[in-house]
Amino acid sequence: MIKIGMIIGERYEILEKIGTGGMSDVYKAKDHKLNRFVAVKVLKQEFSENANFVSKFRVEAQAAAGLMHPNIVNVYDVGEEGGIHYIVMELVEGITLKKYIEKKARLSVKEAISIAIQVSMGIEAAHSNHIIHRDIKPQNIIISKEGKVKVTDFGIAKAATSNTITSNVMGSVHYTSPEQARGGYSDEKSDIYSLGITMFEMLTGRVPFNGETTVAIAIKHIQEELPSPREYVAEIPISVEQIVYKCCQKSPDRRYQSMNELITDLKQSLMNPDEDFVKVVDPDEEASTRMITDKDMALIKKQSDRRDSMDEAMRLKKNTEQPHRQYEEEDEQEEVDEDEEDGDDEDYDPKIERITTVLAIVAALLIGGIVIFLIGRAFGMFRFGLADREDTKQEDQSGKVEMIEVEGKPLDKVRRALIEMGLTPEIEYEVSSAYEEGIVIRANVRAGEMVDKDSNVVLTVAQKSEGTTVPDVVGKSKSEATSILEQAGFVVTAIESYDSTVQSGYVISQSPDGETTAPEGSTITIRVSQGEENTKVRVPNVIGETEENAIVILTENGLSVGTISQTNNEDASLVDKVCYQSYSVGSYVDKGTVIDLRVSIGPAEVTYKYVDNISAPTEDEDYRDGMSVAVTVITADGTQLLNTQTTSFPVPINYSGIKSSMGTIQFRFTVTTEATTTTDPNTGEITTIEGTTMEKTVTREVVFTAEGR
């Protein structure tokens, strides 16, 4: 039994209780040996009595003690005394991310991404040491008073799950991955899923799946599609939405395959939040594009009498919700069955031979058509509006672009614009009282001047004070350079570039330069070598091009065109034009890489709903309860939703699919005054005034709610 003031392990003095959880109580203690304050987590009695659990808990906690990272609550010691099992951890003064979200309702996009990057870096360090958390959730993420984000409880989750500890002890099922919900094998990608759910909650203030029981919630994780966070917060950028989607894919193979991949996209989203650069890889699609070997052809011949390849593809498509292991087992069983039925028979099959011949002819015609098209285009025979494209862009035939005006504009906006033009911005800072911090003072290229694409443009940016000295990381590895700069308080973004003189993966240059000063928290761009240029090509920008032009541009650059689909896009100027490409502009990919495109069919039609209880027209002083009132609801486009007569209020109404955002409610009722009689006091003459009837109208404006909100 832990008591305040007692000393355990002959060094840790228990000072006060600072928290409690499903499995343990947490105390603030003083380590008299090292003269520092620590947190001591003590297992509750029901777990301490489970010898199997305690054994695994010690092993996992000792493994976690080997982790040392700024974004991990470090484990210092593990021990047992008088039946009390405890671990000694770094003491972090702050609050959990769960309480922080509850306090702020929801976080801003930049704050959520910044927290997600720090959490990812901590988890990445654990994964590098083959330690999987298995219980990532806001309750296990702490934000210190200094703003540092730290992940806690590494190692404890694995010990608990391996001993069938119930979900109410293990924490919330709201963040569990589908494979964990099934009780199956979980790995690093389970942590990625849970982090995606945590990001969803940071951005929207709510979890995506809820239910009355843990089983109901677990089933939703397995079966239901993740709702879009933009349904709850419309201003969330598309890149952030897609990052959350990719993290929370049902199949682990479709998620980010490592924390490093996720961190790269999170940092990219800070620079280009509105760019749709996130690519979800479908392993089934990738497998279907490989070259057919002789062995594959022999297998196809065997299977041709029972099914053709298109039927098989459709069958696989219908069953994509099945676990991948089930696919493998079914495929292996089918091969065994077919081998038993067919033996080693690989006789000539005329049906397959005909199919092969037809495919060869079609391929030859397609290749011939492309060659003719390209030759014709070179001689000006096929234009497809390319002249318009060349006239409207600030680029001439010599590969030059016209420099834009940058003075007085925010650095982030200027940086994005220059990158889209094919120019490389380099940053240097200057103390200035004439400009706000982060505003571009000048550039080394004048506005309107024609410069070569891929040129460097030096931007001088204002800062309020001398700032922090930027470490020199040129010549260091990408990971080492990133670590050094981030520890110095900077945000790092990496650009890949070919350089035959610098080893691949090492920094060629940085902007701002080393030993100069820059504001703390500003972005440092490092250029990382990919070694000597070989078969890689740079992805061109085809956003805003017609489908035909995009195909030509990609083909000319040695790339292949994959799936072309139609989609809604809010930018009306992109109707019937490419609004999405599956690889980021300027990135380097292998020749022949398949680029998927989406063509805009215009903004999605917005519909509205009206769910309310219409109250009585008390705006008119002549209205009395019980009067018969005609109630009409008409939308701004003239559609009549309701026309009824009633004597009681409120009137319930529930309509959806409304195309106007506003409308009016009209009340019509009749007011009758009673007859009055007066007597002349002088003559005694009686006069009767007849009652009157008057029709009254009350109009009330109403605003409908957009559906999906």
The residues that are catalytic are 135
SS3 179: helix
Terminal alpha carbon distance of the chain: 51
Strand partners, 655: 610
Measure the CA–CA gap between 251 and 193, rounded to whole angstroms.
10
Evaluated on CA atoms 558, 562, 564, 568, the torsion sign reads negative
Could you give the CA distance from residue 547 to residue 598 in angstroms, rounded to a whole number? 9
CA-based nearest residue to 580, from 570, 589, 590 = 570
Q: Give the CA angle between residues 353, 356, 358 to the nearest 5°.
A: 110
Could you tell me if 203 and 106 are in contact, meaning their C-beta atoms sit under 8 angstroms apart?
A: yes
Token pair, residue 117, equals 């990057």
The whole-angstrom separation of Cα 100 and Cα 107 is 9
Q: What are phi and psi of 240, to 5 degrees?
A: -70, -40
C-alpha distances in Å from residue 138, one per residue of 95, 98, 172: 10, 5, 10
How far is the C-alpha of 19 from the C-alpha of 27, rounded, in Å? 7
Phi-psi region of 549 (alpha: psi -120 to 50; beta: other; left: phi over 0): alpha
Q: Is the peptide bond before 617 cis (omega within 30 degrees of 0)?
A: no
What beta strand segments (E) does 123-196 contain? 141-144, 149-151
Cis before 512 (ω within 30): yes
In sequence order, the 6+-apart residues with CB closer than 8 A to the CB of 184 are 323
C-alpha distance from residue 620 to each of 667, 668, 671, 694 (Å): 10, 11, 11, 13
Q: What are phi and psi of 392, to 5 degrees?
A: -85, -20
- Sheet of 651-658, strand order: 651-658, 608-614, 705-706
The DSSP letter of residue 424 is E
Q: Kindly state the DSSP code that residue 80 receives in the 8-state scheme.
A: E
**CB neighbour class for 491 (10 Å; exposed up to 12, middle 13-18, buried from 19):** middle
For every residue of 312-325, DSSP letters joined together read HHHHHHHTTTS-HH
